[in-house]
Amino acid sequence: MFKMSRTTIKDVARKAGVSTQTVSRVINGRPDVAVATRERVTSVVQELGFRPSALARGLIKGRSFTLGVVTAGSKDVGPLLTLGGIISEAQEHGYALLLEELPGFTATEVEPIIDILVSHQVDGILWTIPEIGDNHAWLDTWLDEIPVPIVFLNMHPRQGITSLSIDNYTGAMLATRHLLEMDPRTIAHISGPLTWWDARERMRGWQDAMKEAGREPDFSVEGNWSSSSGEEAASQLLDSHPEIDAIFAANDQMALSVLLVAHRRKICIPEELAVVGYDGLAESAYYFPPLTTVHQDLYTLGSHGVRMLVGLIEAERQEWTAPLQATVVSPKLIPRSTTW
Amino acid sequence: MFKMSRTTIKDVARKAGVSTQTVSRVINGRPDVAVATRERVTSVVQELGFRPSALARGLIKGRSFTLGVVTAGSKDVGPLLTLGGIISEAQEHGYALLLEELPGFTATEVEPIIDILVSHQVDGILWTIPEIGDNHAWLDTWLDEIPVPIVFLNMHPRQGITSLSIDNYTGAMLATRHLLEMDPRTIAHISGPLTWWDARERMRGWQDAMKEAGREPDFSVEGNWSSSSGEEAASQLLDSHPEIDAIFAANDQMALSVLLVAHRRKICIPEELAVVGYDGLAESAYYFPPLTTVHQDLYTLGSHGVRMLVGLIEAERQEWTAPLQATVVSPKLIPRSTTW
DNA sequence: ATGAAAGCGCTAACAG
DNA sequence: CTGTTAGCGCTTTCAT
């Protein structure tokens, strides 16, 4: 089969015996076309299988109805769930998505990524990279270079930048307070990697909730989100401090390992060891025993982010400066059988 | 801050005192430019922060260095993992991704999606929608309309279409044979929704492995991939047929519920009930007990798919018809503690 | 080594 | 209601 050059508006115009202008009017649904003409053109469009070039359109209009999305860690479930929400919502609003990955989590690679997105005339950018170390430092010096609206997801809120984040601090407080209600001897924490803003916030929530109850937040071990790091952390905690009878893990995957370690040691859950996780993965309801956890709706985070971004874009079209806001949403506790 | 119109090649040309042509040569790294000129232009490019418009380029070249990706079910982990692999690999090859979601799994919406992708001049398309019901029927009548190479992921192999699929049938055979080695009284199956090609293949693998061993594949219940459906299925099986002492679940999430149900009924695993899952989720190694499962590397599936697609695109550039092939990769069994 | 002219596919602005 | 002219930002001839 030969792949001849794609059919253009000219081909349609010629075959329908009208000017390209008229064809343009028809395919854009303008009212000022005679019914007869419109029908003729429409049928030729069908016949030839004509599809207007989004590129040519974008070139003229200066916009492309495309949103740029920057992700990282495309191996982890969290970011991917967020992406899921982004995809659906963008579709809903009629935007296509141009996806770029920031390899690793480093800051260095930011410029080429932005370049690609901007050169494709994206109408806005959604930044979904977790804040790790100083990988958001470029923001302070560099943000002005970006000629389109940009929304950051799960970032430490900053002045004058639009972002949408889940309140890790409050989530961790919820978890810890819930454990405190059981009046345990002591509550340990298995944190995420402390270079992560999210991990630090959760840790801080645990600490403050402990102090608030007159307890010392003495025992914590740093994990790396993975179940295997959770296993190590749990073993270590239980070995060195047998008095620990409650653990707050910074995500469900690490909490899962805590359960496993406890089973191996014949420790009863929740009687001898209470556990709370974080994330609210669907499967956590079927762990053994079903895991008490703090649910954060990553999917909704993504779709909400798109809505904010689209808002900014619309605002700009209408020449009014949109209010830059840092929105924070609260996670919620789901009590199940690893506490009571 | 005013957002003036973006700087174009003309601005650079004027400021550098050369023609747009020369600028074009410089930014494309052509050799035929005087060193002095090149340097002058380069510095102006920097100074003005000029980024060539990918749209204008694509318009001329007839290609965009963009791959179209069509996904579905952006709430499930599987497809998202595949997407992760796609993202990374595309990046590697210098392609951007244009992402579209097929809402639901229906066939009706295919045309508009393709239209969007084609109108954006994508160089190729990656179809990652699971084959459900007859949602791939459009292929037979419609494929010719698509003017770019297209690769299908996890589809029932067809003549003359390039696809890359994981061998569900073999995977299920592996799982079942492994269970048979324990010489159980009988092995039940919890399947995925049988409208899914993948689910039917896994079921068939279980059936054939049973027959091969002179057993009757009598007991199976249809789930819907979710843990909650798995819970129901497991309860039902165990209630109605207490003699069941081995279960092959069509995915890990349903297998997880089998474990939970067994624990509740004080059934020992694996002594009284052996369990094998499917997918090889990272967490399955930390279920209680660690789950024997069939691992399919969805991430690699995605990256591999991109490589095939890029191959097709390159081939087309060089005017030779690439061989259309249906590639199948094998999953592998990971024995853990729910069997032995 | 550099520039001028033409055009990629489409639409905006103006006629008529 | 419809056609003409111009031009989006860039690259491709073809001169010079």
Residue A90 near residue A307, CB atoms below 8 Å? no
Candidates B87, B265, B273, partner chain A, best to mutate (most A CBs within 10 A): B87
Task: Sort out which chain A residues have CB atoms less than 8 A from B63's CB and list them.
Answer: none
Query: Which of the four pLDDT bands, split at 50, 70 and 90, describes residue B238?
Result: very high
pLDDT, tens digit, 9 for 90 and up, residues B190-209? 999 999 999 999 999 999 99
Residue nearest to nucleotide D7 (CA to C1'): A60
Candidates A71, A111, A119, partner chain B, best to mutate (most B CBs within 10 A): A119
Helix (H, G, I), strand (E, B) or coil at A261: helix
Q: How far does the CA of B94 sit from the C1' of C7, in Å?
A: 28
**Rounded Cα gap, residues A307 and B80, in angstroms:** 21
**Rounded Cα gap, residues B339 and B176, in angstroms:** 11
The per-residue b/e assignment along A119-134, b for 16 or more CB within 10 angstroms, e otherwise, is bbbbbbbbbbbbbbee
| Cα B106–Cα B115–Cα A96 angle in degrees, nearest 5 | 85
Instruction: Tokens for A38, please give them.
Output: 């419109």
What confidence score (pLDDT) does residue B128 get? 95
Q: How far does the CA of B64 sit from the C1' of C8, in Å?
A: 13
Q: What is the mean pLDDT of residues A11-31?
A: 93
Residue B54 contacts A where some CB pair is shorter than 8 Å: yes
Residue nearest to nucleotide D11 (CA to C1'): B60
**Nearest CB to A98; choose among B97, B228, B283:** B97
Residue A39 half-sphere exposure toward CB, CA atoms < 13 A? 2
Whether residue B106 is predicted with pLDDT greater than 70 in this model: the reply is no
Whether residue B233 is predicted with pLDDT greater than 70 in this model: the reply is yes
Helix, strand counts (H, E) of chain B: 12, 12
Residue of B nearest to A258 (CA): B286
Residue A61 near residue B70, CB atoms below 8 Å? no
Most confident of A97-101, A253-257, A317-321, B81-85: A253-257
Least confident of A69-73, B54-58, B74-78, B98-102: B74-78
Distance from chain centroid for Cα A233: 27
Q: What percent of chain A has pLDDT over 70?
A: 97
pLDDT, tens digit, 9 for 90 and up, residues B57-73? 999 998 899 999 999 86
Pairing of the two strands B274-276 and B220-222: unpaired
pLDDT, tens digit, 9 for 90 and up, residues B241-291? 999 999 999 999 999 999 999 999 999 999 999 999 999 999 999 999 999
Residue B232 contacts A where some CB pair is shorter than 8 Å: no
B66/chain A closest Cα distance in angstroms:
9
**Rounded Cα gap, residues A316 and A322, in angstroms:** 7
Cis before B289 (ω within 30)? yes
Q: Where are the alpha helices (DSSP H) in chain A?
A: 9-16, 20-27, 35-48, 54-61, 77-92, 110-119, 138-142, 168-180, 197-212, 227-240, 252-264, 298-317
Smallest Cα–Cα separation from A69: which of A84, A58, A55, A54? A84
Q: What is the mean pLDDT of residues B286-315?
A: 96
End-to-end, the C-alpha distance of chain B in Å comes to 68
Task: Sort out which chain A residues have CB atoms less than 8 A from B6's CB and list them.
Answer: 147
What residues are paired with B331 via a beta bridge? none
pLDDT, tens digit, 9 for 90 and up, residues B120-155? 999 999 999 999 998 899 988 888 889 999 999 999
Query: Which of the four pLDDT bands, split at 50, 70 and 90, describes residue A60?
Result: very high
**Nearest CB to A227; choose among B100, B253, B283:** B283
What residues are paired with B153 via a beta bridge? B164
Least confident of A21-35, A319-333, B251-265, B282-296: A319-333
**Rounded Cα gap, residues B121 and B101, in angstroms:** 18
Q: Who wins on pLDDT, B81 or B175?
A: B175
**Rounded Cα gap, residues A58 and A64, in angstroms:** 5
A202/chain B closest Cα distance in angstroms:
22
Residue of B nearest to A299 (CA): B75
**Rounded Cα gap, residues B13 and A330, in angstroms:** 52
Helix (H, G, I), strand (E, B) or coil at B322: coil
Which protein residues have Cβ within 7 A of any strand C atom? A 5-6, 8-10, 20-21, 24, 27-28, 50-53, 56-57, 59-61; B 17-22, 25, 31-34, 36-38, 56, 59-60, 62
What confidence score (pLDDT) does residue B111 get? 86
Query: Which of the four pLDDT bands, split at 50, 70 and 90, describes residue B107?
Result: low
Q: Who wins on pLDDT, B74 or A149?
A: A149
pLDDT, tens digit, 9 for 90 and up, residues A33-54? 899 999 999 999 999 999 999 9
Helix (H, G, I), strand (E, B) or coil at B152: strand
What confidence score (pLDDT) does residue B129 get? 93
What confidence score (pLDDT) does residue A3 get? 46
What confidence score (pLDDT) does residue B3 get? 45
Whole-prediction pTM value? Answer: 0.93
Residue B111 contacts A where some CB pair is shorter than 8 Å: no
DSSP state at residue B230: H
Smallest Cα–Cα separation from A131: which of A53, A192, A85? A192
Least confident of A54-68, A223-237, A261-275: A54-68
Query: Which of the four pLDDT bands, split at 50, 70 and 90, describes residue A140?
Result: confident
**Nearest CB to B71; choose among A87, A101, A288:** A87
Residue A283 near residue A224, CB atoms below 8 Å? no
What confidence score (pLDDT) does residue A109 get? 76
Distance from chain centroid for Cα A96: 17
Q: What is the mean pLDDT of residues B308-334?
A: 87
Which of B109-118's residues contact partners 24+ apart within 8 Å by CB, and which partners? B110/B138, B110/B142, B111/B142, B113/B70, B114/B145, B114/B146, B115/A51, B116/A54, B116/A96, B117/B68, B117/B70, B118/A51, B118/B146, B118/B147, B118/B148
| Enclosing H/E stretch for B270 | none
pLDDT, tens digit, 9 for 90 and up, residues B149-186? 999 999 999 988 999 999 999 999 999 999 999 999 99
Exposed / middle / buried, residue B279 (Cβ in 10 Å: 0-12, 13-18, 19+)? buried
DSSP string of A190-250?
EE--TTBHHHHHHHHHHHHHHHHTT-----EEE--SSHHHHHHHHHHHHHH-TT--EEEES
Residues composing chain A: 340
| Enclosing H/E stretch for B201 | helix B197-212
What confidence score (pLDDT) does residue B108 get? 66
